[in-house]
């Protein structure tokens, strides 16, 4: 009796554990789902948009008058929606146009091949057709390896092979083939049109806008690093610095992890029509250039950060007092220059004020070099404690160079994309403030940043 009841209890508690585990799993999935949606609410909107588009197209299927002469081919429209509807407008347009035109051209080619093969009689037809299919499949598959084709027409190549085989193999007469082709092309065009219209009309996600924002955000992350280091004393110990908001300082790390995304966005943005502040032939390629420079800057910043936060980093008081000021100044000014570039990109105005800050940081760099050269610094101090500090100095000088290159690239973007001039009023206020505020360092020019 007892054993049986024991078993029962064991079974029940086992079941209870199982239910508990399932419940915990469900809660975990729910919280992950929530986090995913919260992280980027556009994901939820995209899912709803796709559901809506699919429903609309499948409703059309039920609405007989429209599809009466399409018949089963109407399914192609549904398929097209599922395959073509992508997150951004550019991706949807690219895939849609690829699908539509590849179907059109390869379909016509397939009809031609079918006609040619039919001429060779009942026995020869399969052989000739197979040779055609083999050749076209080989050529198009190999073409997909070309980087330039892969970037823009990869999907088109695949659909090309598909449609060509589909049409040329189909064992029906020439007239029927043309009808089949006509149905397929028109339903696919219909599907693509619905996708593009919904993608653009309901809360559109532009890859170009994304690329633009992303580049600005990445430069801002660099600025955060410099301003974070510029505002506190430079050679604080690790503990002191960790107390400060270290997260914003380390934001640059995300730049290093996601360098491929810009290329993808660029490939999508090229398909997009003019939208918002962007014209049709917006110089998207320039963003890649800025992105690459930003990556390089983050790369060096990482070395700088590793140096500053390494446990063996100790700097004597003497050195600190000597090189702290120019280091802080360089950091601060570079941060300000980068912030100017960010607001210039965000508001699409000419980055006129960034140059002042770049010049300031260059002046500070000169000062730092002079400090390092002066014999006062390295008298009576351990070389091993000097090296890390000097190291930080040289890395900073290096970073100032790259910031200048970024500023040049943004300037180039501004002239290529015809950014409007910065408001003269703001610039005036700016230069006014410069006169009033006293300079702190020798070559330290303070330029408070307006919203320009």
Binding-site ranges for a second copy (CB under 8 A): 32-33, 36-37, 43-44, 46-48, 50-52, 54-55, 58-59, 61-62, 75, 78-79, 82-83, 126, 129-130, 133-135, 137-139, 141-142, 145-146, 158, 161-162, 165-166, 169-171, 259-260, 299-300, 302-303, 369, 372-373, 375, 377-378, 382-384, 386-388, 390-391, 394
Nearest approach in angstroms of CB 64 to a second copy is 9
How many Cβ atoms are within 10 Å of 339's Cβ, its own excluded? 21
Give the torsion sign (CA, 222, 225, 231, 235): negative
**CB 290 within 8 Å of CB 213:** no
How many Cβ atoms are within 10 Å of 424's Cβ, its own excluded? 9
Residue 381's Cβ-side half-sphere holds a number of Cα atoms within 13 Å equal to 20
Nearest approach in angstroms of CB 62 to a second copy is 4
| Alpha-carbon span 360 to 367, nearest angstrom | 11
Nearest approach in angstroms of CB 240 to a second copy is 23
State whether residue 200 is helix, strand or coil: helix
Nearest approach in angstroms of CB 162 to a second copy is 4
How many Cβ atoms are within 10 Å of 258's Cβ, its own excluded? 11
| Alpha-carbon span 81 to 42, nearest angstrom | 19
Nearer to a second copy, 114 or 282 (CB): 114
DSSP labels, 257-295: H--SHHHHHHHHHTT---BTTB-TT--HHHHHHHHHHHH
Nearer to a second copy, 147 or 438 (CB): 147
Nearest approach in angstroms of CB 223 to a second copy is 22
| Alpha-carbon span 63 to 57, nearest angstrom | 10
Nearest approach in angstroms of CB 432 to a second copy is 38
Nearest approach in angstroms of CB 134 to a second copy is 4
- Phi and psi at residue 310, to the nearest 5°: -70, 150
Residue 152's Cβ-side half-sphere holds a number of Cα atoms within 13 Å equal to 8
Nearest approach in angstroms of CB 391 to a second copy is 6
Which residue pairs, CB below 8 angstroms and at least 24 apart, start in 65-72? 69/183, 70/183, 70/186, 70/187, 71/183
Nearer to a second copy, 346 or 369 (CB): 369
Nearer to a second copy, 83 or 179 (CB): 83
Both structure tokens of 294: 């930003």
Nearer to a second copy, 11 or 24 (CB): 24
| Alpha-carbon span 61 to 81, nearest angstrom | 13
Nearest approach in angstroms of CB 52 to a second copy is 7
Nearer to a second copy, 107 or 351 (CB): 107
Nearer to a second copy, 121 or 438 (CB): 121
Nearer to a second copy, 359 or 385 (CB): 385
Nearer to a second copy, 82 or 421 (CB): 82
How many Cβ atoms are within 10 Å of 401's Cβ, its own excluded? 13
How many Cβ atoms are within 10 Å of 383's Cβ, its own excluded? 8
Nearer to a second copy, 184 or 241 (CB): 184
Please, what's the b/e burial string for 272-302 (b: 16 or more CB within 10 A of its CB; e: otherwise)? beebeebeeebbbebbbbbbebbeebbeebb
How many Cβ atoms are within 10 Å of 452's Cβ, its own excluded? 20
Nearest approach in angstroms of CB 58 to a second copy is 5
Nearest approach in angstroms of CB 402 to a second copy is 12
Nearer to a second copy, 122 or 247 (CB): 122
Nearest approach in angstroms of CB 227 to a second copy is 24
Nearer to a second copy, 105 or 378 (CB): 378
Q: Which residues contact 211 (CB under 8 A, 6 or more apart)?
A: 262, 265, 266, 269, 284, 287
In 3-state terms the chain splits into helix, strand, coil percentages (rounded to 5) of: 80, 0, 20
């Amino acid at each position: 009796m007892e054993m049986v009841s024991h078993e029962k209890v064991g079974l029940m508690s086992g079941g209870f554990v199982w239910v508990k585990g399932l419940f915990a799993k469900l809660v975990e999935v729910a919280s992950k789902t929530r986090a995913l949606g919260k992280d980027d609410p556009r994901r939820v909107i995209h899912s709803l948009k796709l559901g809506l588009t699919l429903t609309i197209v499948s409703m059309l299927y039920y609405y007989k008058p429209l599809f009466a002469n399409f018949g089963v081919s109407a399914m192609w429209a549904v398929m097209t929606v599922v395959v073509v509807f992508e997150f951004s407008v550019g991706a949807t347009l690219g895939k849609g146009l690829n699908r539509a035109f590849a179907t059109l051209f390869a379909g016509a080619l397939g009809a031609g091949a079918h006609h040619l093969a039919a001429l060779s009689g009942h026995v020869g037809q399969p052989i000739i057709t197979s040779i055609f299919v083999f050749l076209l499949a080989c050529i198009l598959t190999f073409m997909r390896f070309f980087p330039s084709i892969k970037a823009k027409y990869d999907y088109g190549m695949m659909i090309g092979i598909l449609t060509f085989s589909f049409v040329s193999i189909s064992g029906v007469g020439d007239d029927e083939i043309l009808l089949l082709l006509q149905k397929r092309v028109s339903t696919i065009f219909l599907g693509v049109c619905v996708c593009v219209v919904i993608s653009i009309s309901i809360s559109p996600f532009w890859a170009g806008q994304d690329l633009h924002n992303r580049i600005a955000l990445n430069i801002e992350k660099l600025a955060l690093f410099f301003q974070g280091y510029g505002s506190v004393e430079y050679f604080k110990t690790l503990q002191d610095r960790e107390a400060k908001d270290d997260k914003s300082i380390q934001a640059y790390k995300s730049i290093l992890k996601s360098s491929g995304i810009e290329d993808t966005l660029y490939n999508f943005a090229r398909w997009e029509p003019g939208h918002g502040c962007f014209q049709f032939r917006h110089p998207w390629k320039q963003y890649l250039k800025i992105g690459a420079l930003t990556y390089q800057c983050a790369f060096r910043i990482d070395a700088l950060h590793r140096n500053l936060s390494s446990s063996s980093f100790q700097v004597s008081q003497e050195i600190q007092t000597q090189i702290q000021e120019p280091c802080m100044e360089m950091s601060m000014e570079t941060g300000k220059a980068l912030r100017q570039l960010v607001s210039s990109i965000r508001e699409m105005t000419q980055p006129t004020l960034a140059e002042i800050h770049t010049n300031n940081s260059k002046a500070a760099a000169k000062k730092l070099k002079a400090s390092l050269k002066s014999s006062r610094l390295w008298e009576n101090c351990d070389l091993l404690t000097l090296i890390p500090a000097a190291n930080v100095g040289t890395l900073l000088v290096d970073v100032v160079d790259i910031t200048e290159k970024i500023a040049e690239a943004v300037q180039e973007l501004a002239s290529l994309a015809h950014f409007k001039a910065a408001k003269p009023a703001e610039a005036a206020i700016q230069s006014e403030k410069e006169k009033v505020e006293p300079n702190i360092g020798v070559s330290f020019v303070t330029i408070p940043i307006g919203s320009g």
